[in-house]
Structure 1
């Protein structure tokens, strides 16, 4: 059995289309209903949309391999992807080796110990955000806050000097941005990637000469059973953190305010009860996750949901669709911070299996510190949704600009 354009009428899947990026969820619904494994012929993608199938694919890296990377973009889809995306571009023993060495440095304790720095950065950027709000009657939640803090947290962890952080952030933005009509990494994104790699290469060499107490030094110094990371492997992981960790957390913080503002009753409840912040975060991750889709290389002929996918194909798993599958989630299109915890435990926003996101704890910690402080500091906020500007990317979903008016509490 095959599922192609001809079988689904006018059902079209084009992940590069700006209109699709503005609201992919109606397309996801049709895919789940009409063609849960859909062959998008224009890009030769096998698109997998139901929760159970997405879960099974993510768990089976023997058949659905990471060896070509996880990106849709043609220039990033190659056997050398691991040189840029670290263990995200590897399987089996190679993946386990890199991840084990990285995990020895990027420990839960190191993440927890960042809490005071995250709090200090939150206070710093909230002060700037509220100053802009007082002067102009609103601030840009992305430009003034969410677009800055996650990169600063990662840079603080890595040991990037404050003077370099704005430029590193600018380069990371260029890596994920996609031009309308361009079905690959644009020239500016390629150039930004090279520049970031050169920067991190020099940082690694500097730590080999003079170690400090940052993550980069820990990655340089980690030795397990006589094995340690090469410079290129460390650079790839640092690049992965900047592109994956920075952008996804920025989008999470933007999506959290955008969706809660559209549910006034729930917003009042959260602003009246700080204990609801974790549920706010988890429902945001489910309802509109930052990472919407991941590619996999199909090693051998395989059948998914009754559809045969041939060896050598590029499969695309839709995390954003899986998180809205009515087979798993009650009333999935409704944003509900009171959603049952058992349902929320099924979200696939951070993946599952051996490739479960190593930065999930950090993303959740950042979001909790930020949003708890926001609840302490504001009695209300209004998102000017009519002037919100979405970022256009195949890899992340969120906002480039989000105008918000805040009402501060009397302190």
Structure 2
């Protein structure tokens, strides 16, 4: 069942869509569960069951061209910056298995005390300004700083280089208004970041350390090791996938918490409930709204044959508001039953390797914030949304804080 584009429109580059995609998604689920946009050249699935099955069908729905809709990011070169996220098996499985030997749950657990220190450091600076009644920018001063610092800590980037690395990473993700593709400035920032990581890998080749970069260089299965280029690709993937999405998660949690004070107030006295706040935010307004796949072989859905080579978008942002799975999906309810129905980190073979890192960071960051404040008010009129075809969140989130 496809519906002509004129009746329901999904344009991931449209600013109205960025402000609030959820009414669009509802119409798609109800009127065009298999949607086709002729002009932009993609199909889309919006219902929970279809999105979940799409994630799990990694043979007919291929990752070979990457997961972005932006033309310049797509294609056979995508694996250079998106690592195994832009590969199919067996190449995907080989690389992911090798990377997993360095990027272990234990390494993430051992990082937690340092994540706490970094969170406290940024919070102290922000709350010092908030004490005098000043409005602070939660993204610029906290949520936008912490995730990239954590990634740099993990990789072993020296302290004196971290501000510069964070600026480069911001440059990679920045999009000008109305630009449907990756701008020149972002390409330059990507090259600069690549050069930096390339030199860092060369240094570790000479002298190993106890960081993730060294662990990746040492990872080995039956004599098979990662090449420098493969290590570089994974480090870059962490900047794109791990930095941006966690920043947006932290800001989305603050925004929807502010909008739903009745849901938030119990958490000030019970920090053990903070993981539930994180999970409901991941469901209600997930950072990663849509992921692209390439149809490999013919795919039949809703009495329609989708041709080989076409782009199909999976919309976890829509799936999480599907009333077929979640009762009252448009209500923000901390502690609701979500379980394995959460698709923010994908599902199946490509399930996000950094899911435990993102959850740990968000839990630590929000708990440390709530240990130090009594309440906060977001200045909604001056909040600025990010304009991105795939990521949803805030570029600026001004607030006043009761310390």
> What is the deviation of 1:136?
4.4
CA contact (8 A) 2:3 2:31 kept: no
SS at match of 2:161: helix
Aligned counterpart in structure 1 of residue 205 of structure 2, from 195, 208, 211:
208
Aligned counterpart in structure 2 of residue 395 of structure 1, from 378, 390, 393:
390
CA contact (8 A) 2:83 2:234 kept: yes
> What is the deviation of 1:111?
0.4
Aligned counterpart in structure 2 of residue 313 of structure 1, from 296, 310, 330:
310
In the alignment, the residues of structure 1 paired with residue 252 and residue 287 of structure 2 have an alpha-carbon distance, to the nearest angstrom, of 8
Instruction: Tell me the equivalent position of 1:199.
Output: 196
> What is the deviation of 1:86?
0.3
In the alignment, the residues of structure 1 paired with residue 179 and residue 158 of structure 2 have an alpha-carbon distance, to the nearest angstrom, of 34
In the alignment, the residues of structure 2 paired with residue 305 and residue 138 of structure 1 have an alpha-carbon distance, to the nearest angstrom, of 51
> What is the deviation of 1:320?
0.4
After TM superposition, which residue ranges in structure 1, 4 or more long, deviate above 6 angstroms?
none
Aligned counterpart in structure 2 of residue 168 of structure 1, from 152, 165, 168:
165
In the alignment, the residues of structure 1 paired with residue 311 and residue 284 of structure 2 have an alpha-carbon distance, to the nearest angstrom, of 26
In the alignment, the residues of structure 1 paired with residue 85 and residue 62 of structure 2 have an alpha-carbon distance, to the nearest angstrom, of 10
> What is the deviation of 1:72?
0.6
TM-score scaled to structure 2, two decimals? 0.98
Instruction: Tell me the equivalent position of 1:384.
Output: 379
In the alignment, the residues of structure 2 paired with residue 2 and residue 36 of structure 1 have an alpha-carbon distance, to the nearest angstrom, of 7
> What is the deviation of 1:174?
2.2
Once the two structures are superposed, residues 24-54 of structure 1 have per-residue CA deviations (whole angstroms, 9 ceiling, x without a partner) of 1111111111101110111111011111111
1:26 aligns with 2:23: yes
Instruction: Tell me the equivalent position of 2:178.
Output: 181
In the alignment, the residues of structure 1 paired with residue 378 and residue 339 of structure 2 have an alpha-carbon distance, to the nearest angstrom, of 25
> What is the deviation of 1:2?
4.5
Aligned counterpart in structure 1 of residue 293 of structure 2, from 281, 292, 296:
296
1:228 aligns with 2:234: no
In the alignment, the residues of structure 2 paired with residue 191 and residue 211 of structure 1 have an alpha-carbon distance, to the nearest angstrom, of 29
Aligned counterpart in structure 1 of residue 284 of structure 2, from 266, 287, 293:
287
Task: State the aligned residue count.
Answer: 403
CA contact (8 A) 2:377 2:401 kept: yes
CA contact (8 A) 2:45 2:312 kept: yes
CA contact (8 A) 1:16 1:180 kept: no
Once the two structures are superposed, residues 63-90 of structure 1 have per-residue CA deviations (whole angstroms, 9 ceiling, x without a partner) of 0000011111111111121111100010
- 206-215 vs 267-276, greater mean Cα deviation: 267-276
CA contact (8 A) 1:17 1:180 kept: no
SS at match of 2:374: strand
Once the two structures are superposed, residues 137-188 of structure 1 have per-residue CA deviations (whole angstroms, 9 ceiling, x without a partner) of 3211111101001100000000111222122222222222222222211111
1:143 aligns with 2:130: no
Instruction: Tell me the equivalent position of 2:352.
Output: 357
TM-score scaled to structure 1, two decimals? 0.96
> What is the deviation of 1:237?
0.3
Instruction: Tell me the equivalent position of 2:362.
Output: 367
In the alignment, the residues of structure 2 paired with residue 294 and residue 86 of structure 1 have an alpha-carbon distance, to the nearest angstrom, of 15
CA contact (8 A) 1:101 1:223 kept: yes
> What is the deviation of 1:338?
2.8
Q: Which runs of 5+ in 2 are unaligned?
A: none
Q: Which runs of 5+ in 1 are unaligned?
A: none
1:4 aligns with 2:19: no
Taking the TM superposition and a 5 Å limit, the aligned residue runs for 1:6-85 are 6=6, 9=7, 11-85=8-82
CA contact (8 A) 1:4 1:41 kept: no
Once the two structures are superposed, residues 212-271 of structure 1 have per-residue CA deviations (whole angstroms, 9 ceiling, x without a partner) of 111001111111111000000000000000111011111100000100111111121111
Q: What is the CA RMSD across the aligned residues, in angstroms?
A: 1.2
Instruction: Tell me the equivalent position of 2:152.
Output: 155
Taking the TM superposition and a 5 Å limit, the aligned residue runs for 1:260-271 are 260-271=257-268
In the alignment, the residues of structure 2 paired with residue 19 and residue 37 of structure 1 have an alpha-carbon distance, to the nearest angstrom, of 22
- 234-243 vs 389-398, greater mean Cα deviation: 389-398
